[in-house]
Chains A and B, each alone.
Chain A
Amino acid sequence: MTSFKMTRRHFGFLAAGAAATAAMPFAARATGGSVIAATFPGNWEDGYRSVLTPLVKEAGYDLTVAPALAQDQLAKVMASPGNPPYDTLLMSPGQMAVAIENDIIQKIDPSKLKNWSMLDPAFQGEYGPTVTVEVNGIAYNPDLVPRPKGYRDLFENPAYKGLVSWTGFASNTGVMAYTEIAKIFGSGPTDMEAVFKLFKDHPEHLKGVVASTNHQMTLFQQGEVAVFMCSTGNVAKLKALGLKAEFVQPETGSPAAPVNIHLTKGSKNVDAAYAYMDAAISKVAQDQLKMPPREMFPTNRQVELTPGIGAYVTRAQLASLVYPDWAALNKNRPEWIRQFDALVAG
């Protein structure tokens, strides 16, 4: 075997090179400072990085988009109180309730947002603006399975056997679907015993349980699954990738979740965070984010809906969507997570 030789001179050069690399100056930064914004991975990360970065830059700040699921955002901020890793968080009411309870987000000052008045009052939250409303339903591959009517169909029609994927109770999308299933098969949205019994009676569905919606999209791409619980954004992304994917609003109604930007308590870049929030609710940003592959429902009144988004939901229909009671759900969620995990693992 060829022996490895290194002289003291070589080692010296190597060490000097490493030191020089570490001492290299950072790229030029905007003068106003920078904001570290947590967004969901995938479509959100791509969209916010490409659309909002130039807008925030125009305002004189740098934007760093950090992808993390809402639960991970919470965990990381709770892990470093007083020195949060993100200046802003992106989350639905489920996590927002936990964030308020744990005192990690703060009320905002709307006077610092030029575009605040462009939002409907329903989207003007005291803890931050709503940037979109995610409409949930069922994604399916029309080449592999017939169009499902709703959640009941997935358990009762043999055409879906072994082709449906679910997530655990850690996923908001999963929880919203389970509350609807609990209404159908049980006594109400929190009757999860009925949901667990349904899965026990249909063990083929337990084989399709995975960790996250992103994982489900990977399996959908590979033809491993043909149906999963989704948001309209998930289907838009799959379609943009050239895949056969369609969105179905369940016959019992579509669960929906507003997505909000929150200012983290202890943020050291408050002005930059406001500039980012303002960019996210601006007409120019939402005009781009409503287009495929993102198809985010615009909360800025001045932004027209695309025909694609209009086919899922109109502004008039927003009120008729199903908005879960997250305070009630969060109370039982840890126990449901443990119970469901044990059920899935057999």
Chain B
Amino acid sequence: MKASGFPYVIPMLLLSVAFFATPLAVLIGFSFIGPEGVGFHNYARFLGDAFNYRVLINTAKLGLQTIVSTTLLGVPIALLYWHSGKTARQVIIFLTLIPMLTSNVVRTFAWIVILGRQGPISETFVALGLAERPFTLMSTELGLVMAMCQIDLPLIILPLIAILSRIPVTYTEAAQVSGAGPWRILVTVLLPMMLPGLLAGWILVFASTSASFVTQAVIGGARNIYVPQLIYREVGTLFDWPMASAIAVVLLLSTGILLVAMTMISRHRRLVGHA
């Protein structure tokens, strides 16, 4: 059976080697070149600077913060979809997909208006007496997480919807009949069933957030520096491509380790067994 299917994957395999593996190999090779010759000099320079460490940690932290916020918003939306009728489901799908049809750049610039001093958040807080004067969330980590959460929300909602669509609503009714309350149903019935979808969404959100150069640069400003901005600086401003390659490899490895860990969890027999 394995042998009979192999020829069909050959074109994809060739494309992957030509357009993914080869450029990646070139990138990795480039990262070892420097004025001092071939070696680990670029890695030593990058990892020897405490500032770069902080940037690396901040990038991972941003990804994890976005995962938490998208989960808190995405799970209720997915559950609402699950309990809705045909028309409401179409509306939820439509509203989920609409932001994805708009350019990331446009969505990011819309957030400048929302997070600004004269934006709805600041004005609402002032009107409710929760803030003395208008304030800005631009160039803050909180503002960036809010923007990233909205931008990446479809990435967690869609896998959840795909999982929930296969599960009959009668499962919750059975739990209710057995005497379980709403929280118990959520924790012991729904969340275990949703876990594979959640993990798939977390992987997508983490990968998207940690590489989202435009939003990080525009909303985060120059105070919140993340790894993609460092790579851009090395390529576009300092023209130090070997260093940029080394940083890219470090980003690839650090996010890769986290993604592999999440993927392994999502394939764990006990977790998959629940779904």
Contacts and interface: CB of A to CB of B under 8 A. Distances in A.
Interface of A: 1-2, 71-72, 74-75, 78, 98, 167-168, 170, 206-207, 209-211, 215, 218-219, 222-224, 334, 337, 341-342, 344-346
Given A224-B117, A224-B136, A207 B236 contact: no
Nearest to B109: A218
B54 A345 contact: yes
B222 A71 contact: no
A210 B139 contact: yes
Contact of A337 (B118, B136, B238): B238
Interface string B91-125: 00000000000000000010011001110000000
A207 B223 CA distance: 7
Interface of B: 51, 54-55, 86, 89, 109, 112-113, 116-118, 136, 138-139, 165, 217-218, 221-225, 233, 235-240
* Chain A contact residues, majority secondary structure: helix
A236 B225 CA distance: 31
B112 A222 contact: yes
Contacts of B238: 334, 337
A167 B217 CA distance: 12
A14 B138 CA distance: 44
Contact of B113 (A209, A210, A215, A222): A222
Per CB-CB distance, the 9 closest pairs between chain A and chain B, nearest first, are A209-B222, A170-B237, A75-B236, A342-B51, A222-B116, A345-B225, A334-B238, A344-B222, A210-B221
A345 B136 contact: no
B51 A210 contact: no
B223 A206 contact: yes
Given A170-B236, A222-B112, 12 more contacts: A206-B223, A209-B222, A209-B223, A211-B222, A215-B218, A218-B109, A218-B112, A222-B113, A222-B117, A224-B117, A345-B55, A345-B223
B239 A337 contact: no
A341 B118 CA distance: 28
A207 B139 CA distance: 8
Contact of B222 (A2, A168, A218, A334): A168
B112 A337 contact: no
A344 B223 contact: yes
A335 B210 CA distance: 26
A219 B119 CA distance: 12
A100 to B, nearest CB: 14
Contact of A170 (B54, B136, B221, B233): B233
Nearest to B136: A224
Contacts of B239: 74-75, 78, 98
A219 B51 contact: no
Contacts of B235: 75
Given A210-B222, A224-B116, A341 B233 contact: yes
Contacts of A1: 89, 165
A318 B27 CA distance: 47
B229 to A, nearest CB: 8
A223 B118 contact: yes
A206 B221 CA distance: 10
Contacts of B136: 224
Nearest to A209: B222
A207 B117 CA distance: 14
A83 to B, nearest CB: 17
Contacts of B218: 211, 215
A217 to B, nearest CB: 12
A222 B239 CA distance: 33
21 contacts: A2-B86, A75-B239, A78-B239, A98-B239, A167-B222, A168-B222, A209-B222, A209-B223, A210-B222, A211-B218, A218-B112, A222-B112, A222-B113, A223-B118, A224-B112, A224-B136, A337-B237, A337-B238, A344-B222, A344-B225, A345-B51
B142 to A, nearest CB: 14
A218 B110 CA distance: 11
Contact of A345 (B89, B109, B113, B224): B224
A236 B113 CA distance: 23
Contacts of B165: 1
Contact of B233 (A167, A210, A337): A337
